[in-house]
Structure formats: structure tokens, C-alpha cells
Amino acid sequence: MIGLLRHLAPMGSIAVLTLLAVLPWGLPAEDRFFLPLLPVIAIHYWALRHDAVIPEWFVFLAGLVLDTLTNGPLGYWSLIYLIAYSVAVISAPLASRGQGVRMALFAVALLIVAGAAWVISSIYFLEAVDWRPYLTGAAFAGVGALLIVPILHALNVADGERANPSLVRGR
């Protein structure tokens, strides 16, 4: 049962956040950019902890679903999500240094992802697009992570902290 949950929780959380990003929330257009960054939170969280659990094809598929349901250019969010996944996998060896380092890694990852999204959008439109929505979206996604990460942590059944239900040290 735990083995099944170990695989379903990461993919399920990414899928739910992708679908939440597609919903019409009634936000102004300039404030909506953080919604597609919500799956980046889960992608980064799970790739930092259990990179083998999230297959690359699923990260690509989440972006493709977002592109399809929002009528965006096909492959745009797939590429962005794969960049977020790559940044997390590359920085995973540093994640064992504590919570503060993981938070800093996430902040850097958000900036890299927002910067990559801006560059790719600028190339797509053949002109430099406004960078402010991308930076604001990254900031809102960082705030959203404060709400989402505790939920992801609760879903993390493969975490070693839960392996000792009797609360005895050294076991």
C-alpha cells in the first residue's frame, strides 16, 4: 500500500495543481501568471526528495495538458516544467543540508523558471515581453508554496520521519 502511495502522491499532486492552474479564478490577466507555476511547487518538492518517483514524461504531460486546456502554444509549459524538474534534480544533492537550504533552492528555482518563461515567451513573440508579470508570478508562487508544501509534506509517505511510529530515537 505504501509503495502505491509513494508513486501516486507525487503524480496526483502535480495533476491536481495542474488542473487548479487551468480553472477560471476570475483574476485579472496580469495576475494570472502564478497559476501555471503552482505545479512547479510540487515538481520541485518531489524531485528534490524522490527524483525517481516522478518520471520525466509525466512532467512533460502535465505541461502539455496545461497548454492544451488553456489554448497556449503546445510545448511551452512542458518545456518550463522540464526546466523546473531539471533544476530540482541538479540541486537535489544540496537539499540534505536543511530546511533553509531547500527554501533557498526553491527561491532560486522559481527565479530560473520565471526567467526561462520570459525568455521563451520573448522568443515566441519575437520581441521582449514585459518581465513584471513573470516576476510577480514567481513571488505569488513563492507565497503559494507556504500553503502547498505542508500538504505535500503530509502526502510524503516515503519520508523517513514516518518510519518510526513509536517515537523512539535511534531505531
To which H or E segment does residue 15 belong?
helix 2-22
40 contacts 110 by C-beta, under 8 angstroms: yes
Q: What is the pLDDT of residues 9-62, one digit of tens each?
A: 899 999 999 999 999 888 887 778 899 999 999 999 999 887 668 899 999 999
Query: Could you give the CA distance from residue 120 to residue 126 in angstroms, rounded to a whole number?
Result: 10
pTM: 0.88
